């Protein structure tokens, strides 16, 4: 079953957005009109990536950056390009856009 998580227009171009549920958290990035969604968990120590709400990108806005040890991740693939989890990847979440809303499978909201 699909669950709407936010309006696609609520994500600013080049911006990132936190989404939290009871037992899970993820984040959405819009880059060049494309949407990327990942579970908010660094593969290094399995902690949230951000230390401020809605701030997941480095200062130049071209990479995802972990706030704990600074690992840098490719926005499009989630692969770590630099840092202690080099070569590991963020966990991507599939989505669909329906009636202007970003929707994901409810089963994807339950992860360990």
Shortest Å, Cβ 61 to ligand FES: 19
Asked if 35 and 102 count as a contact pair (C-beta separation under 8 A), the reply is yes
Q: Are strands 34-39 and 25-31 parallel, antiparallel or unpaired?
A: antiparallel
Could you tell me the smallest distance in angstroms from the CB atom of residue 41 to ligand FES? 9
Q: Using CB under 6 A, pick the residue from 37, 83, 93, 104 that binds ligand FES.
A: 83
Shortest distance, CB of residue 65 to ligand FES, whole angstroms?
9
Our finding on whether 78 is near ligand FES (CB under 6 A) is no
Is 81 a binding residue for ligand FES by CB under 6 A? The answer is no
Could you list the residues that contact ligand FES (CB under 6 A)?
A: 42, 44-45, 47, 66, 68-69, 71, 83-85
């Amino acid at each position: 079953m699909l669950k709407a998580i936010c309006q696609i227009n609520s994500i600013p171009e080049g911006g990132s957005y936190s989404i939290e549920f009871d037992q899970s958290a993820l984040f959405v990035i819009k880059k060049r009109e494309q949407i990327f969604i990942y579970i908010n968990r660094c593969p290094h120590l399995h902690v949230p990536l951000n230390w401020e709400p809605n701030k997941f990108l480095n200062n130049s806005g071209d990479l995802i950056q972990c706030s704990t040890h600074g690992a840098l991740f490719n926005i499009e693939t989630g692969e770590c390009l630099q840092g202690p989890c080099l070569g590991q990847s963020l966990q991507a979440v599939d989505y669909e856009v329906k009636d202007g809303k970003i929707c994901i499978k409810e089963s994807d909201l339950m992860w360990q």
